[in-house]
Structure formats: structure tokens, C-alpha cells
Amino acid sequence: MMHLAETLNFSGRKVVAAWASVPFPALRGYSLPDTLCAYQQDVPWKLLSSCRERKVSCCFAQSVVLRGICKERKQPTSPLHTCESTEQILQRYLHTVFPGAFSTSHVLEQPCSTLPPYPQFFSPLLTRQGFLLDKPPSYSSTAVESVPVLAALQSSPVLHTLLYSLYKDLQQMNTRRWASFFAAGVEEDDYQEALQELRTLSQCYEMGFEAEDSEDEADSD
């Protein structure tokens, strides 16, 4: 994980955000292009890191892994449907949604097993193989045995708010009330230097318009 994060970071960045979709929202009988075409304005995965999500999708670099979804042969109806493999479908989708970002993708055919003792917290709309149904089944649902999953690590602007908020919280902390903290061997100068490094790190994740706002905040400080 550490080496992967290093691969995705450049220009002074050191942190990545985690995203996942468990299960991946694929309707039963639909192909991967069908599913991804329904998410052209948004992505079919959710942010796991404690950052504030953005309405506009953007990132600097990312690594995405999809498992349990295969390409089904259908009449081409979109550029995604013309791709030869599942890997090409996912890669083309990432380049469309995140233009200019460095994106790597991996596809595994085997889904994630959810057999006991995996907790059965899934919706009744899921089939035994983890695909979505249009409506609840008329019969009593059985345990979900496996699910398709998508996971991603991103070097993304969403991390700017998280890191800068952490810097502001630590900056406002009255260190005189925590004498035992510095008695453990941490020097006040080292602490202040670490604070400034945290602020600098947060600025590495800014976009152009955010950098201007950040300079205004710095002036107010």
C-alpha cells in the first residue's frame, strides 16, 4: 500500500484517498459498458476517507481495481461498447471521467466471496451473485454468496480540505496545556516545523482557484 501511494504521488504529495463500491452497482443482465454509461456525470464508488466529497470529479492520479465483472458481447451503442476487453472499458471510462489524470486499472474475473462468516448486511435487491434487481424478488431472498467490487486509491484535491482542516485544528491547540506531550521528547520547534510541513502538504492538493483562496486565508492568519 505504501509503495502504491508513492507511485500515485508527485509534486510533493504524499497522501491518497480511498474509494470503494461494495457491491459494484451492476444490474443483473447488464454489461459493464451499460453500467458505466449510467455514471457519466458521477462515479459508481463512494469516498471512504474522511474528506468532503466534491461535485466535480477530478484527481491527479489513481489506481482502480474491478473484480467480478466480465464484458458481455452486445451490439455497440457507445464508445465503451466498442472496447475489446474489460480492461479497455474501464481504462477508457477513467480517461473520460478524469481527463488528464494518470490512471491505472486492473480487472479480476473472480468476485469477492461473501460466504459465512461474512456479515449478510446486503439489500434484498441483490442476487446470490451480488447483482442488482429491478424490483424485490417475490420469493424469500437467499444469502449473497459473492459480490462484484470496485476499489480505488486516488491522489485527489479532496485531500486538501482534510489536511488543511487538520493543520488549523492543531494550530489552534494550546500546547502549554500539554506539557507531558513535550516532556516525552518532542521539541516545540519540531512541532511547529511539522505544522508548517502539514500546511505545505495540504497546498500540494489545491487546484488553481483554491490556491487563490488559500492565499487569502494565509493573509488573514
Report the percent of the chain where pLDDT is more than 90. Answer: 48
Pairing assessment for the beta strands 61-67 and 102-108 based on DSSP bridges: parallel
Among 132, 138, 182, smallest CA distance to 25 is for: 132
Residue range 95-102: average pLDDT?
Answer: 91
Task: Tell whether 126 and 167 lie within a shared domain.
Answer: no
Average pLDDT, the chain: 85
How many Å separate Cα 100 from the centre of its chain?
17
Residue 218 lies in a domain: no
Report the percent of the chain where pLDDT is more than 70. Answer: 87
pLDDT band at 15 (very low <50, low <70, confident <90, very high): very high
Task: Tell whether 142 and 165 lie within a shared domain.
Answer: no
Residue 143 lies in a domain: yes
Task: Tell whether 103 and 166 lie within a shared domain.
Answer: no
Task: Tell whether 52 and 115 lie within a shared domain.
Answer: yes
Sheet of 149-155, strand order: 46-47, 17-21, 149-155, 61-67, 102-108
Residue range 22-49: average pLDDT?
Answer: 88
User: How high is the pLDDT of residue 56?
Assistant: 56
Residue 210 lies in a domain: no
Task: Tell whether 30 and 101 lie within a shared domain.
Answer: yes
Cα R_g (the chain), whole angstroms: 22
Give dist(CA 59, CA 45) in Å, integer. Answer: 14
Q: Which domain holds residue 52?
A: 1-155
CB 117 within 8 A of CB 167: no
Is pLDDT above 50 for 209? no
Instruction: Tell which of 119, 140, 155 closes a domain.
Output: 155
Residue 219 lies in a domain: no
Count of structural domains, the chain: 2
Q: How far is CA 208 from CA 38, 50, 161, 216, in A?
A: 30, 23, 14, 13
Task: Tell whether 40 and 19 lie within a shared domain.
Answer: yes
> Of 40-44, 71-75, 215-219, which one has max mean pLDDT?
40-44
Task: Tell whether 151 and 170 lie within a shared domain.
Answer: no
Residue 81 lies in a domain: yes
Task: Tell whether 95 and 126 lie within a shared domain.
Answer: yes
Residue 23 lies in a domain: yes
Is pLDDT above 50 for 215? no
Residue 78 lies in a domain: yes
Task: Tell whether 58 and 76 lie within a shared domain.
Answer: yes
User: How high is the pLDDT of residue 78?
Assistant: 83
Task: Tell whether 132 and 164 lie within a shared domain.
Answer: no
What is the biggest distance separating any 2 CA atoms in the chain, rounded to whole angstroms? 70
Residue range 149-176: average pLDDT?
Answer: 91
What string of DSSP letters covers 114-138? --TTS-----TTB-TTSPBPSS--S
* 158-171 and 188-203 helices, crossing angle to 10°: 160
Residue 220 lies in a domain: no
CB 145 within 8 A of CB 129: yes
User: How high is the pLDDT of residue 174?
Assistant: 79
Task: Tell whether 164 and 151 lie within a shared domain.
Answer: no
- Name residue 103's beta-bridge partners: 62
Q: Is 51 helix (H, G, I), strand (E, B) or coil?
A: coil
**Count of other CB atoms within 10 angstroms of residue 97:** 18
Task: Tell whether 128 and 93 lie within a shared domain.
Answer: yes
Q: Which are the contacts of 79, defined by CB distance < 8 A and separation ≥ 6?
A: 92
